[in-house]
Structure 1
Amino acid sequence: MQSTVNYLWHTDDLLGQGATASVYKARNKKSGELVAVKVFNTASYLRPREVQGREFEVLRKLNHPNIVKLFAVEETGNSRQKVLVMEYCSSGSLLSVLESPEHSFGLPEEEFLVVLRCVAAGMNHLRENGIVHRDIKPGNIMRLVGGEGQSIYKLTDFGAARELDDDEQFVSVYGTEEYLHPDMYERAVLRKPQQKAFGVTVDLWSTGVTLYHAATGSLPFVPFGGPRRNKEIMYRIITEKPAGAIAGTQKRENGPLEWSYTLPITCQLSMGLQSQLVPILANILEVEQAKCWGFDQFFAETSDILQRVVVHVFSLSQVVLHHIYIHVHNTVAIFLEAVYEQTSVAPQHQEYLFEGHCSVLKPNLSAKHIAHTTASSPLILFSIANETPKGLAFRDPALDIPKFVPKVDLQADYNTAKGVLGAGYQALRLARALLAGQELTLRGLHWFLEVLQATCKRTLEVTRVALLFLSSSLGTERLSDMAEVRGTQELRRATELRTQLRALAEVLSRCSHNITEAQMSMGHLSSELAKNRDQVHEDRSIQQIQCCLDKMYVTYKQFRKSRMRPGLGYNEEQIHKLDKVNFSHLAKRLLKVFQEECVQKYQASLVTHGKRMREVHDTRNHLRQVGYSVATCSTKAQEAQENLSKILDQLSHQLLQDRAEGAEASLLPVTPYPIPAPTDLVLHMQELYEEMKLVAFDLQDNNRIIEGLNRVPSAPDV
């Protein structure tokens, strides 16, 4: 046990260790509060006195939620070693988070954004106080969990920090080699004499490497054999990196250097976030100081990302979930263009559904009118242009699974188990994404069919009303009676109009039949979708993969514990070998479930979905034509009925005139049914005329609905 006046700790509670100090978990003697104490060793006192006191002064100057707090500076009782008493972060460092198998391929998007926000805020506070850290890396970013379960990251270890203004430089070398700026790497690692001075932007390079590591789970610059085994190649990579490249690797010994301008496909960040992040990485991972961004631009660009909101959009045609990052003050037009950039679906071809209802997004509206979405409840994007579903692009986790060496090598076996487990967690994430994609596909297509069914119902109602009206308003017998009596040109024209109305009625009848057939077809498809959704909900592949991972994790923990031992006894070694065999069998079972139960079913669902989408597009286009036929018929029927009404008005007026002269008997033939009074006939025709107007209005309204749904520039010929 060791202690100061107010704090007590045990040397077994080691949290971290460096060249000049060790950090332990300690307690306040009075309150029992947990703290972290940094105890300086003998080597630290060999440094110049101003360097020894620099960390104390820096920490006293800083006060920010994203920087570890300094509570006190004390001394141990016997050796009188300096002790910094600091805030204790119970969840370890960002490095320990990234070293867990679950994050072998980087952090989830939400967690990465937390890291970005905390690191940028902490660094901004450093610059406001004129301090350069000089050792930014995941191991110096601590994590604790807030009261609501959220992660909070804090910068720590200011042993290399010093006060430095933006226009000042320094010549001393500090830092960790994988995260060092190339100029510092040349002097500190390769030991090459050079007279270069360094500025505050060295922290930006280290931050870029750290953010890449957090996003991908890997370092951006890796020579064959690793950064510390091939230092000359490492230096070549970081100095020869082309502008815009964010990573460089050498995949075989003495092989060429390969550059990457994007994040790897295994990264968990969405393309929407990647498109915002990659330019930042490219401009702070810049060797030439003149081309590298300054802190002001870095803070401005990261703040721009963090102030955006995410709109989740699931492309029904492509079967891909997109994250669209926009500002709330943007217009919908900007959102539609952002969707176009990710999906290649032009704004005029984009139609949206949300929770089963049409979501009309007018370009001039504010983006704040867009519905609040989540990954499980996104906007459903339907593209007017028919295309083959692409599906989610991913790398097969089996390609990233290492194999155990035959002999017992505790460190190598641990590393292999960690790599296999990391690939297993990646398979689990992909399996969840594939299953979620299938569910969203079936749900979205079902909703779209419901919208089409509703359109069919409205069009069919209008069509049937129009047919009923046309049938009742032709006035066949009365018109024939009038024609026999008068034989005028007006009556012949009325007969022609009556024939035209009959033809329009036949067209509407065919339209009604076509709509009914479309309804039946969509009803069958909806039944299939409901059946498929039940099958997706009953899928147990996720649980099977999770079960394998749980068993593998138990073995992994044992391997992690064993690697610290100098060796194993005979019996323990035999158990270790058996664990390796069982671990490998579990990995194979996991991959088999992933390939056969997840990937193959997903690929089959894409083929089926492609056929269904073609059917829906055909039905939709057919309904569009039917809708325009109904609209065209309504227009022509309205014109014909108006003309017919005028003629009948004239004839009725003539009949009234003839009756007034006492010539009714000679003008009207004997009929098998009573002739209505002229006044009644006129009123009846006027009523029919008004009803026809209403029907025509309904047909025009239906036409506008269909035009709004399909956005077709011009109507096809009927």
Structure 2
Amino acid sequence: MQSTVNYLWHTDDLLGQGATASVYKARNKKSGELVAVKVFNTASYMRPREVQMREFEVLRKLNHQNIIKLFAVEETGSSRQKVLVMEYCSSGSLLSVLESPENAFGLPEEEFLVVLRCVVAGMNHLRENGIVHRDIKPGNIMRLVGEAGQSIYKLTDFGAARELGDDEQFVSVYGTEEYLHPDVYERAVLRKPQQKAFGVTVDLWSIGVTLYHAATGSLPFVPFGGPRRNKEIMYRITTEKPAGAIAGTQRRENGSLEWSYTLPVTCRLSLGLQSQLVPILANILEVEQAKCWGFDQFFAETSDILQRVVVHVFSLSQAVLYHVYIHAHNTIAIFLEAVYEQTKVAPRHQEYLFEGHLCVLEPNLSAQHITHTTASSPLTLFSVASETPRGLAFRDPALDVPKFVPKVDLQADYNTVKGVLGASYQALWLARALLHGQELMFRGLHWVVEVLQTTCRRTLEVTRTALLFLSSSLSTERSSSVAGMPEIRELQRAVELRSRLRTLAEVLSRCSQNITETQMSLSNLSSELVKNRDQVHEDRSIQQIQCCLDKMNLIYKQFKKSRLRPGLGYNEEQIHKLDKVNFSHLAKRLLQVFQEECVQKYQASLVTHGKWMREVHETRNHLRLVGCSVAACNTEAQGAQEGLSKILDQLSHQLLQDSTEGAQASPTSIAPYPSPAPKDLVLHMQELCEEMKLLAFDLQDNNRIIERLGRVPSAPDV
């Protein structure tokens, strides 16, 4: 046990160790509160006194939620060693988070954004106080879990920090070599004499490497054999890196250098976030300080990302979930353009559904009017252009599975188990994404089918209404009334119009039958979609993969303990060998489930989805044609009816006039052939005229409905 006046700790409770100090978990003697104490060793006192005091002074100057808090500076009782009493972060460091097998390929997007926000805020506080850290790395970013369960990251270890203005420079070298700026690396690691001075931008390089590490789970610059084994190549990669490249790798001994301008496909960040992040990485991972961004631009660009909101958009035609980052104050027109940048679906072709309902987005409105979305409840985008669904792009986790060495090698076996477990967690993440993708495919398509069915019902209603009125206007009673009238030119025209109305009625009847058949087809498709959605819900592949992972984790923990031992006894070694065999079987089973139950089913679903999407596009286009035919029939019927109504008005007026004149003529005059009484004809003509006027009104109303329906199917006309 060791202690100061107010704090007590055990040397077994080691949290971290460096060249000049060790950090322990300690307790306040009075309250029992947990703290971290940094105890400086003898080597630290070999440094100049001003260097020794620098960390105390820096921490006293800083006060920010993303900077580790300094509670006190005390001394041990016996050796009178300096002790920094600081805030205790129970969840380890960002490095320990990244070293967990489940984050072998980088952090999830939500957690990465938390890291970005915390690091940017902490660094901004340092710059406001004129301090350069000089040792930014995941191991010096501590994690604390807040009261609401959220992660809070804090910068720590200010042993290398010093006050430095934006225009000032320093010549001393500090830091961890994988995260060092190449100029510092050249002198500190390669020991090459050079007269360069360094500015505050060296922290930006370290931040760039740290953010890349957090996003991908790997370092950006990796020579064959690793950074520590091949230092000259490491220096070459960082200094010869082309502009815009964010990573460089040497895959074979003495092999060529390969450059990457994007994050790897295994990265768990969405393409929407990657498109925002990559330009930042490219501009802070610049060797030449003149070309590298300054902190002002870095803060401006990262703040721009952090101030954006994400809108989740599932492209039904592509079967891909997108994350679209926009500012709340942007217009919806800007959102539509952002969707185009990722999906290549032009804004004029973008139509949306949300939770089964059409979602009309007015370009001039603020993006704040866009409904709140999540990955499970995104906007569903339907494109008018039919294309083959490409689905989620991913790398087969089996390609990243290392193999055990035949002999028992505790460190090598641990590394292999950790690597296999990392690939297995990647398989679990992908399995969830593939299953979720199927759910979004079938659910979104089901909604589109429901919209088309609604369109069918409304169009059918309009068609039948038009048929009803056409039928009433073409009744035999009215026909005989007109047929018995004198053969005059207006009457011939009336007969022609009535004949045309009969033809239009036949067209509408065929449209009605066509729509009914389409309804049956859509109903069958809807049943198939519901059946497939039920199968997705019943899928148990995730549970099978998780079961394998749980068993593999137990072996991993045992290997993690064993690697710290100098060796194993005979019986322990036999158990160790059996664990290797069992672990290999579990990994093989897990990857088999992933391939056969997840990947193959997903690919089959993509094929089926593509076929159904083509059917939906054909049905939608067919309904549009039918709707146009119904609208055209309504318009023509309206014109014919208006012409017929006008003729009937004229005939009615003429008959009325003739009946008046006939009353004044000789009552003994006899008509050459029997005909209805003029008075009756007038009444019949007046009634028919009134009915035709009603028909005109209804046809106009139908046309307005048809026009609206013409817009409704285009709602999923994205």
Q: Could you say which TM-score interval applies, normalised by the shorter chain? A: over 0.9
1:478 Cα deviation from its structure 2 partner: 3.0
Mapped contact 2:659–2:679 kept (Cα < 8 A): no
Q: Take 2:544 and 2:461, find their aligned partners in 1: how far apart are those partners?
A: 51
1:678 Cα deviation from its structure 2 partner: 3.1
Q: Does 1:694 align with 2:698?
A: yes
- Tell me which residue corresponds to 1:105: 105
Q: Does 1:524 align with 2:528?
A: no
Q: Deviations over 1:587-624 (max 9, x none)?
A: 00000000000000010111111111111111111001
Q: TM-score, normalised by structure 2?
A: 0.97
Mapped contact 2:459–2:709 kept (Cα < 8 A): no
1:474 Cα deviation from its structure 2 partner: 2.3
Q: Take 1:102 and 1:28, find their aligned partners in 2: how far apart are those partners?
A: 35
1:711 Cα deviation from its structure 2 partner: 8.0
- Tell me which residue corresponds to 2:546: 546
1:365 Cα deviation from its structure 2 partner: 1.3
- SS for the counterpart of 2:72 is strand
Q: Deviations over 1:90-139 (max 9, x none)?
A: 00000000000000000000000000000000000000000000000000
- SS for the counterpart of 1:275 is helix
Letter of the 2:706 counterpart: N
1:350 Cα deviation from its structure 2 partner: 1.2
- SS for the counterpart of 1:53 is helix
Mapped contact 1:105–1:218 kept (Cα < 8 A): yes
- SS for the counterpart of 1:578 is helix
Q: Take 1:590 and 1:318, find their aligned partners in 2: how far apart are those partners?
A: 28
Mapped contact 2:382–2:716 kept (Cα < 8 A): no
Mapped contact 1:316–1:444 kept (Cα < 8 A): yes
1:361 Cα deviation from its structure 2 partner: 1.0
- Tell me which residue corresponds to 2:181: 181
- Tell me which residue corresponds to 1:5: 5
Letter of the 1:451 counterpart: V
Q: Take 2:479 and 2:50, find their aligned partners in 1: how far apart are those partners?
A: 114
- SS for the counterpart of 1:154 is strand
Q: Take 1:431 and 1:275, find their aligned partners in 2: how far apart are those partners?
A: 25
Mapped contact 2:3–2:9 kept (Cα < 8 A): yes
1:344 Cα deviation from its structure 2 partner: 1.1
Task: Return closer, same or farther for 1:673/1:543 CA change in 2, 3 Å cut-off.
Answer: farther
Q: Take 2:511 and 2:485, find their aligned partners in 1: how far apart are those partners?
A: 37
Mapped contact 1:483–1:492 kept (Cα < 8 A): no
Task: Return closer, same or farther for 1:183/1:208 CA change in 2, 3 Å cut-off.
Answer: same
RMSD: 1.7
1:476 Cα deviation from its structure 2 partner: 4.6
Q: Take 2:677 and 2:232, find their aligned partners in 1: how far apart are those partners?
A: 111
Task: Return closer, same or farther for 1:711/1:59 CA change in 2, 3 Å cut-off.
Answer: closer
- Tell me which residue corresponds to 2:87: 87
Task: Return closer, same or farther for 1:91/1:673 CA change in 2, 3 Å cut-off.
Answer: farther
1:485 Cα deviation from its structure 2 partner: 2.8
- SS for the counterpart of 2:506 is helix
- Tell me which residue corresponds to 2:222: 222
- Tell me which residue corresponds to 2:386: 386
Mapped contact 1:634–1:700 kept (Cα < 8 A): no
1:481 Cα deviation from its structure 2 partner: 3.5
Mapped contact 1:137–1:206 kept (Cα < 8 A): yes
Q: Does 1:272 align with 2:272?
A: yes
Where does the alignment leave 5 or more consecutive residues of structure 1 unmatched?
714-718
Q: Deviations over 1:406-447 (max 9, x none)?
A: 000000000000000000000000000000000110000000
Mapped contact 2:451–2:713 kept (Cα < 8 A): no
Q: Take 1:343 and 1:357, find their aligned partners in 2: how far apart are those partners?
A: 22
Q: Take 1:43 and 1:300, find their aligned partners in 2: how far apart are those partners?
A: 41
Task: Return closer, same or farther for 1:519/1:468 CA change in 2, 3 Å cut-off.
Answer: same
Mapped contact 2:143–2:151 kept (Cα < 8 A): yes
- Tell me which residue corresponds to 1:340: 340
Task: Return closer, same or farther for 1:529/1:443 CA change in 2, 3 Å cut-off.
Answer: same
Any residues of structure 2 matched to 1:253-268 within 5 Å, and which?
A: 253-268=253-268
- Tell me which residue corresponds to 1:650: 650
Any residues of structure 2 matched to 1:22-421 within 5 Å, and which?
A: 22-421=22-421
- Tell me which residue corresponds to 1:707: 711
Task: Return closer, same or farther for 1:64/1:100 CA change in 2, 3 Å cut-off.
Answer: same
Mapped contact 2:352–2:359 kept (Cα < 8 A): yes
Task: Return closer, same or farther for 1:228/1:712 CA change in 2, 3 Å cut-off.
Answer: closer
Q: Deviations over 1:527-582 (max 9, x none)?
A: 01111111111000000000000000000000000000000000000000000000
Mapped contact 2:353–2:716 kept (Cα < 8 A): no
Q: How many residues align?
A: 713
- SS for the counterpart of 1:207 is helix
Q: Take 2:657 and 2:347, find their aligned partners in 1: how far apart are those partners?
A: 63
1:688 Cα deviation from its structure 2 partner: 3.3
1:495 Cα deviation from its structure 2 partner: 0.7
Mapped contact 2:648–2:688 kept (Cα < 8 A): no
Mapped contact 2:655–2:678 kept (Cα < 8 A): no
Q: Deviations over 1:354-399 (max 9, x none)?
A: 0000011121111111111000000011110000010110000000
Task: Return closer, same or farther for 1:669/1:307 CA change in 2, 3 Å cut-off.
Answer: farther
Letter of the 1:113 counterpart: L
Mapped contact 1:263–1:274 kept (Cα < 8 A): yes
Mapped contact 2:25–2:37 kept (Cα < 8 A): yes
